[in-house]
Structure 1
Amino acid sequence: MRTSACVFVVFALGCAGACSGGPASTPKPTAPTAVASASPSGVVAAEQTASCTPVKDGSPRSKGIEALAEGRGKAATVALRAAIEAHPEDLTAQVLLIAARKKQEKLSLDVEAGLRTAVPIPLQITKSSTFVDNAVEPRPGADAVRLKTISESKNLIVDVDDWLKKNGVSSPTLRPGPEDIPEHLPRTFQGVAIQQIHDHGDHQIGVFGAALVVGSPDSALVAFTLMNGPTGSAPPDFAQVVGSTLLVATRTYQSGSQPYTTLLAFDVNTGALKWASDRDVSNARTFAVTRDHVVVGFGGSAMPDNLFLIDLANGKTLQKLPIKSGPDLLLLKDDRLLVRSYDVDYAFGFSTPPAPRVAPALPSRKGASHALSAPARCALDAAVAASDARDVGKLQDAVHMLTREKADPLLVGAFEGTVKFFEQQQQKPALDLTMVSPTRVDEPAWEYRLTESAGPAPTGTAKLVKASSQQGGNPWIVRRGKYDPQKPWPIAPFEKGKLPPGARVDIPSQYGMNDLRVIIPSGDRLLLVYGGRYVAVIKGTETEAVFDLETFRHPPKVNPQWKEFAVGDVTYALAEGDTLYVANGGGSYAREMMGKKGFVSAFSISKKKLLWRSQPLVHGTGPFSITSDYLATGYGFTDEADNVFLLRKDTGAVAAKLPLESAPDEVSATGDRLRVFAYDRTYDIEVRR
């Protein structure tokens, strides 16, 4: 976990405890309450809560607290992330997330330590073609089952997530980040980091190169190493345990360098090979399993595209069914098989409704419970309530009780850090974005709109005149150089909100689970942009407002093939007086967003409402500037028109426009002179009145 990911002042919040070592509803932010007494008198009150009943309202926050109390680190992490995404001002959820992440990591590392001396079961292939030496007799009637097409439709190739959501299914394959790894799987095995997780609900399989580690929260772990023929080993493409059988789709090398793909069935207890399928039947990302059958897919490029229905008992191919493009995902939903191929979606039925697959027969797990005792669980609720109320005295009492009841030190440390943070805020306040709830702005008009004037009208008219231009430009982020607190500072997505050396240490690197993207000094204020969604307005250590502009990011209509990129992120902002000016300059080509990008909007900071919204295509990704009567902005993107604009500060209307030969990236103003850094040129422009 990044140190600054504590979201508030990490060193004051006590990451020495939380990072190293009540009510379920979201509370309204309040200032910390002074400590009433340093004595542990509140411990008695905490003890009296031994018969308390935890609040379970079904919210992500409630689920996260419950999972944490039960010692389920990953479940707690997932739920608490969702709680913070919904309520970024929930400081207590952020405290609990620290503990949940560390719990998840610790349990996974404990599992990893326990596997250091484990000897994987070898999965050895000894023959080069289909065989069934150790297979069992098929169930009567299994060989008569066939697939039949129910529907097929063209897809957009890039709309996989939409297809999954529409069908109410999820892909069982994942390339995991740290928070995706279940605590019952190791993060590394035999020196190899986990590369994939195959999640089947009742068991999970971690892929570590050619090794597999199989387990579940209730089962012991079993490790395997796949030896693919005499020329060496290769990572498995997909694996699943069905009863006492481990199914593995993989590439097999028998001679030379050209592999063939096959589906293999091994005894999960001994590693003995039960059967191998025909060659070249399985190169799809997944396969689908019923009680009696496995459906696999093979194809792509110049190869024939087919589905294969295979008998689970002996690996024999029962049916070969041609499809129109290479199969990718094969998923079961009720009694249907859903197939996502390269550019066609299919639904298939079975001639006989399939029975569910047999649950995996894995050895049971023996280990200590990580759940809190009943008194410790009540102390946790007391700590949550005290943290919500920012009551230092009651929180100290709850921490004493958690310590006395031998609660998880990671949980205790997180709340100890919270006590220190509250104490610091009483003595020397630092920035705390959780002191205000974000203002969620309604969806705007996707055209010019004036609701209320942002100030006096300009006197006279103005025009833009190009004074000079020279070769050389470069994007803003390339030119940022050394951090200067008087200048805006962009943060690239891969930097994950990392603060530059010299920046204020109390700036959170995340807000609402969105990484910090831009730090902008603006007069006596500091503006912080998070994830292209949130803009925080800071004066000193006070959070004046946080605007949630999620509705401004998604035009009503976009090219569905570009949906992933057609998002109008907040790219820059400035404040003057009571007005906040925000540019939604992110997104793909204008044509893919139906021209609805590049807006600038003005908000009243005190009233927290929209005053006006400009026409589209007036500003892009870099900084704009404020002059006496106007905003100086610029827009251009690849082959789209490149222009500099003057927008009236009072109404947002375009007062002047100057075409350029290169796309503007940054527009800075000094009096009535503009300097425009474009893609490959730098311009000096005069504002003539």
Structure 2
Amino acid sequence: MKSKIGSIVLISLGILLAGCGKKGTEEISGETVTTVEESVAANLTENDTENPAESQTMEVPETVPAIIDIENPSWDYYIGNEAVSKASPLKLVQLTEAANAITDTEKWFEKNDLSLNAEGDERYGCEIYSPYNSEECDIQVTDRENGESFTLHFEGFRYAGDFTEENEPFVEQNIQYAQVEDGILYFSIGHLTYAKFSPHNAYVAAVDLAEKKLLWKSEPLVSNAYNFVITGNVLLCGYGFTEEPDYLYQLDLASGKVIGEIPLKTKADYLILKDNILYVRTYNTDYTFQVE
């Protein structure tokens, strides 16, 4: 199955992502490796007191971040307040298309001098909890401006209810990737098996961190790549699977609506934008596109 091969390769990369990370994953050079892994250790937090003597005689309670439940309003496209579209589809001119060795992902990153480092948001940082590494489907957010920390809880996004009982173990959805831009948290969520077993999956969604509310949720089956790319008013993402259509999608950042698509030979695993060149790594094919 293509997705499992891609997951194994992902774990071996140890690629860094600024801004959002997987809670409990290995830290390298001060950054948190962001992968979708099936087992990781839980982080422990410590609290200090200003008075050393008091710390010897009393236990300081651990600060527990506020938990905000984000309701899933629909298993199809949703938008809270109708947004004015700010985006026109990017013109993507294909430059190259070449078969890869499937297992040479790390060499692809090195050859093209690519990384998953995102600039992120100066004010907000976040870490992902998902069913693969905890019992919850959460994103913990830190507001660097005022020191506030809170957890966004996405329990209502885990099971779509469109599956049969025998497929339940395979259709639990988890948060794949998250990134904060201009105070908005964008994240992708879905399961890792065939869409026919639970077709309402593989979404991108947006949450206003100041208001702590869901702004929009895209159509299903648009994003199961390991990451997405935000450039200007467009979010670039990819979806595909064995015996399913494989596409590179463009979403309007303001509304989450699909505004463009390009067919690919196989499922997109990584999308990296560098110097106006979009590098797309799929299961067995590498592409480059000039972004105009």
Q: Same fold (TM over 0.5)?
A: yes
Letter in 1 for 2:167: W
Please report how far the alpha carbon of residue 551 of structure 1 lies from its aligned counterpart in structure 2 after TM superposition: 1.2
1:537 corresponds, among 112, 133, 141, to 141
CA distance in 2, matches of 1:473, 1:535: 34
Which residue, 433, 437, 442 being the options, matches 2:66? 437
1:625 aligns with 2:285: no
Tell me, yes or no, if structure 1 residue 8 matches structure 2 residue 45.
yes
How many Å separate the matches in 1 of 2:68 and 2:130? Answer: 16
Query: Where is the helix percentage greater, Structure 1 or Structure 2?
Result: 1
Q: 1:667 and 2:271 equivalent? A: yes
8 Å CA contact retained: 2:66, 2:149: no
Structure 1 residues 550 and 487: CA distance shift in structure 2, 3 A: farther
AA partner of residue 547 (structure 1): L
Aligned-partner residue type, residue 215 of structure 2: L
Corresponding residue for residue 649 of structure 1: 253
Show the counterpart of 2:155: 550
Determine helix, strand or coil for the equivalent of 1:551. helix
- Give the aligned CA root-mean-square deviation in angstroms: 3.4
More strand per residue: 2
Match of 2:214 in 1: 610
1:453-490 deviation line (CA, Å, top 9, x unaligned): 67x633544444432211216489867989xxx9559x
Query: d(CA) in 1 for partners of 2:179 and 2:208?
Result: 12
Distance 1:686 1:480, change over 3 A: closer
User: 1:569-584 maps to which residues of 2 (within 5 A)?
Assistant: 569-584=174-189
Equivalent pair of 1:465/1:658 in contact (CA under 8 Å): no
What stretches of structure 2 of length at least 5 have no aligned partner?
1-24, 26-40, 132-136
Matched residues, number: 244
Matched ranges for 1:145-164 at <5 A: none
| Bigger Rg, which one | 1
Cα 1:5/1:447, change in 2 over 3 Å: closer
Q: For residue 526 of structure 1, report the CA deviation from its aligned partner.
A: 3.7
- In 2, the alpha carbon distance for the partners of 1:475 and 1:527 equals 30
Q: Which residue is equivalent to 1:636?
A: 240
1:319-358 equivalence runs, <5 A: none
Mapped to 1, the partners of 2:155 and 2:116 lie a distance apart of 23
2: CA distance between counterparts of 1:630 and 1:601?
A: 13
Question: Equivalents in 1 of 2:287, 2:229: separation in Å?
Answer: 15
- The answer as to 2:201 corresponding to 1:597 is yes
**Which AA in structure 1 matches 2:126?**
L
Residues 569/475 of structure 1: CA separation in 2 closer, same or farther (3 Å cut): farther
What is the DSSP-based 3-state SS (H/G/I as helix, E as strand, rest coil) of the residue aligned with 2:57?
helix
Alignment of 1:22-37 (within 5 A): 34-35=50-51
* 2:262 aligned partner: 658
5+ residue gaps in structure 1?
14-31, 39-392, 399-414, 423-433, 490-519
Contact 2:184 2:209 in 1 (8 A): yes
Q: For residues 64 and 115 of structure 2, what CA distance do their matches in structure 1 show?
A: 26
1:540 deviates by 5.2
1:497-508 equivalence runs, <5 A: none
**RCO higher in 1 or 2 (8 Å CA, sep ≥ 6)?**
2
For 2:169, what is the secondary structure of its paired residue?
coil
- Decide whether the 8 Å contact of 1:536 with 1:546 is kept in 2: yes
Contact conserved, 1:441 with 1:547, CA < 8 A, in 2? yes
1:449 partnered with 2:78: yes
Q: How does 1:354-393 map to 2 (within 5 A)?
A: 393=54
| CA distances 1:129-150 after superposition (whole Å, capped 9, x unpaired) | xxxxxxxxxxxxxxxxxxxxxx
Return the offset for 1:438.
Answer: 2.1
Could you tell me how far 1:537 is from its partner in structure 2? 2.6
Residues 476, 622 of structure 1: 8 Å contact kept: no
